[in-house]
Structure 1
Amino acid sequence: MSSEAFVTLATNDNYAIGAMVLASSLRQVGTQKHLFILITNGVSDNIREVLAKFFDTIQLVDLLHSPDPKILQALKRPELAVTLTKLHCWKLTQFTKCVFMDSDTLVIKNIDELFERDELSAVPDVGWPDCFNSGVFVYQPSDVTFNQLIEMAARDGSFDGGDQGLLNQYFSDWSTKDIGRHLSFIYNMTLASTYSYLPAYKRFGQNVKVIHFLGALKPWYCSYNASMGKLNTFIGNDQARDFIEKWWQMMVANVHSAIEQLNLVGSMSNMVIDNPAAIQQPSSSNEDRYQAWQQGQMDYLGADSFENIQKRLDQSIHGQ
């Protein structure tokens, strides 16, 4: 086993599928590092079985909630409470060095050189560059560091209520001590910044190695046309569309076949691959479909996709 590892975290099925795409992208660019994923009980059993096809090690961990939920409410981002679970990554002391990556990232060029950097190396945050963004960072596992982080969280909380605020408090000299710990933006390029400084993207965009789908817009919430290789609908800038389509291309090529037989329901039903050729294939009877719906078994990639339901509704309305 490699003494170095890429580590990610999934707290539900959505992010677990994002993690599968991340793992596929890491393998596609040729890394031989160990791929490790931390998961919580929010990840279903059937998804856990599929994760084993993409990661060398899967470890179940407890959910660590933010010690200061009022801050999260003020930020209108209560979902960030679970991000403190990320701290478990410091307990992976079987590795000498790790690179943590959020499961909503995508690697498009090899980044193994990051293991040459010291703890804590990260990219400046676009919102406040004196802080680092905790979506991608190089660190050294340590039980001492883990315990100190937990103690700080309990004592001082986090200024943003999540892991990024806490980690910036703990590694408070990141912005001033050693410029070598400042990673280039190409290792954690967020969608939000590509259109705020478009000339820079046009100048340096070809060097980008990691795309980070930061914020509420996640690729798995978009509808994708596999036959055309394009998103069905998208409101946003061209760069964001291109990045999300890159994610979907990786998803269709390497992950879709592993999950298409699973009965994914709830929010996962938002993830639609619209393939006209597949839609034209013979489908089960209406009675069979009704039984499947009653049992919560929706064909979210086919007959029960939102687009197909909308088509049927339009046909009924217009008497077709």
Structure 2
Amino acid sequence: SAEDSEAFVTLATTDSYCKGAVVVARSLRRHGTTRSTVVMVTPNISEQSRFALKDVFDEVIPVDVMDSDDHVHLSWLGRPELGITFTKLHCWTLTQYSKCVFLDADTLVLCNVDELFERDELSAAPDPGWPDCFNSGVFVFRPSLHTHGGLLDHALQHGSFDGGDQGLLNSFFSSWPAGDISKRLPFVYNLNASSFYSYLPAFQQFGHNAKIVHFLGAGKPWSQREESRSLTMQQFVCLWWKEYLSDTTSSTAGKQQQVRTSVCSERAAEAEADEERLQHRRLWEAGRADYLGRDTFQNIQKMLDRFLD
């Protein structure tokens, strides 16, 4: 059947991204996908990580590292590590499948998204930074050695305008912004953090319809580096951890789970306080001060005194 020849594909280029990939596979399974799950891994991935991946994916496929070696453009971006994303192009060589959906390893699937296979190449959601470009964290494609060759030629001749796979794919599939509207996926299929800040009212209105969350940027859910996150983002991070720890049965995992849960609730409380401060400031700036409550003259006087001390 068509379903048997279709797959969700992701890529792990470091051991820490393997954690992300495990969550991609688990979240797809949890929401009842009927398609195969495939992860491509680079040679530097440890035996232990491969083992963890074999546990949750239908197929683990070793691929070579391709680096754009485009240091000039990558340094413009301030993200030299993005060169490795050229390895993503290997997904077009998976010709044992007729159609695939690529998901970056820093995504989390929140519901069944098998309907994506009704779309054709190259379907993707707009990037919030420049909506006439698609974000390459989630896209529908058809494996083909012909397309793979074309992409490599294009890379050699033109490089990538951002030094990463997104620039290359956007210039190769250049009809995306003005072409077939059915190839433009709704933003909820690739909801990324920056949009929570740039257009908060829309996020509050539509965010609960999110289907795939994309943890863009340097601070990943699994990394130690914490960024200030909105309350909603914090909830998504907690969901990510819940998924990551869902199948680990050892007692250490249990302890980790407890630590994570308490950290999650602390962070959620902090985020809620931040959110409240932000909301208060927004109302104040919009001229809707709470003159009978926290914005009484007395309270403002106290704040000024503290500030001037």
TM above 0.5, yes or no, is yes
What residue in structure 2 maps to residue 183 of structure 1?
185
Q: Is the 8 A contact 2:6 2:35 kept in 1?
A: yes
Partner of 2:86: 84
Is residue 2:107 matched to residue 1:124? Answer: no
Aligned to 1:275: 258
- Please give the secondary structure, in 2, of the residue aligned with 1:141: coil
User: Secondary structure at 1:219's aligned position in 2?
Assistant: coil
In the alignment, what sits opposite 2:115? 113
> How far off its partner does 1:195 sit?
2.3
Point out 4+ residue stretches in structure 1 off by more than 6 angstroms.
Answer: 258-261
| Code of the aligned partner of 2:236 | F
What pairs up with 1:97-112 in 2 under 5 angstroms? 97-112=99-114
The alignment status of 1:248 with 2:237, answered yes or no, reads no
Identity %: 50
Task: Classify the secondary structure of the residue corresponding to 1:183.
Answer: coil
Distance 1:65 1:99 in 2: 22
Q: Deviations over 1:131-153 (max 9, x none)?
A: 00000000000000000100111
Partner of 1:309: none
User: Which residue in 2 is equivalent to 1:40?
Assistant: 42
Q: 2:204 aligns with which of 202, 205, 221?
A: 202
Root mean square deviation, CA, Å: 2.1
When residues 58 and 258 of structure 1 are mapped into structure 2, their CA distance, relative to the original with a 3 A threshold, is farther
Report the TM-score when normalising by structure 1: 0.77
Q: Partner letter of residue 119 of structure 2?
A: R
Report how far residue 221 of structure 1 moved. 1.4
| TM-aligned CA deviation for residue 56 of structure 1 | 0.5
In structure 2, what is the equivalent of residue 64 of structure 1? 66
Give 1:206 deviation, angstroms.
1.7
Listed one character per residue, the Cα deviations across residues 34-58 of structure 1 (whole Å, up to 9, x for unaligned) are 0000000121011101111110001
Query: How far apart are residue 275 of structure 1 and its match?
Result: 3.5
**How many residue pairs end up in the alignment?**
257
1:22-41 matched pairs, under 5 angstroms: 22-41=24-43
Tell whether 2:222 aligns with 1:239: no
Q: Displacement of 1:240 after TM fit?
A: 1.4
* Cα-to-partner distance string for 1:243-287 (whole Å, 9 max, x where unaligned): 111101111113x448969xxxxxxxxxx93636xxxxxxxxxxx
Alignment of 1:255-270 (within 5 A): 256-257=248-249
In structure 2, do the counterparts of structure 1 residues 234 and 172 end up closer, same or farther at CA, with 3 Å as the change threshold? closer
> What secondary structure sits across from 1:175 in the alignment?
coil
Q: Deviations over 1:121-168 (max 9, x none)?
A: 000000000000000000000000000100111111000000000000
Q: C-alpha distance in 1, partners of 2:214/2:188?
A: 10
Which moved further from structure 2: 62-71 or 165-174? 62-71
Which residues in structure 2 correspond to 1:132-147 (within 5 Å)? 132-147=134-149
Look up the match of 2:214.
212
1:7-18 mapped onto 2 (5 Å cutoff): 7-18=9-20
- Which 5+ residue runs of structure 2 have no aligned equivalent? 260-309
Take 1:153 and 1:204, find their aligned partners in 2: how far apart are those partners?
A: 37
8 Å Cα contact 2:6-2:97 kept in structure 1: yes
Which amino acid is 2:231 matched to? D
Q: How far has the Cα of 1:178 moved from its partner?
A: 0.8
- CA deviations 1:154-192 (Å, max 9, x no partner) are 111000000000000100010011111000011000011
Other-structure match for 1:193: 195
- Give the 3 Å change call, closer, same or farther, for CA 91–234 of structure 1 in structure 2: closer
The alpha-carbon distance between structure 1 residues 23 and 260, as it changes in their structure 2 partners (threshold 3 A), is: farther
Please give the per-residue CA displacement for 1:195-242, whole angstroms capped at 9, x wherever unaligned: 22111112111211000000111000149xxxxxxxxx8632112111
Deviations 1:43-91 (A, max 9, x none): 1011101111110001100000014221101211011000000000000
1:154 to 153, 156, 176: 156
**Is the deviation greater in 187-196 or in 67-76?**
67-76
Distance 1:189 1:196, change over 3 A: same
Normalized per residue, the structure richer in helix is 2
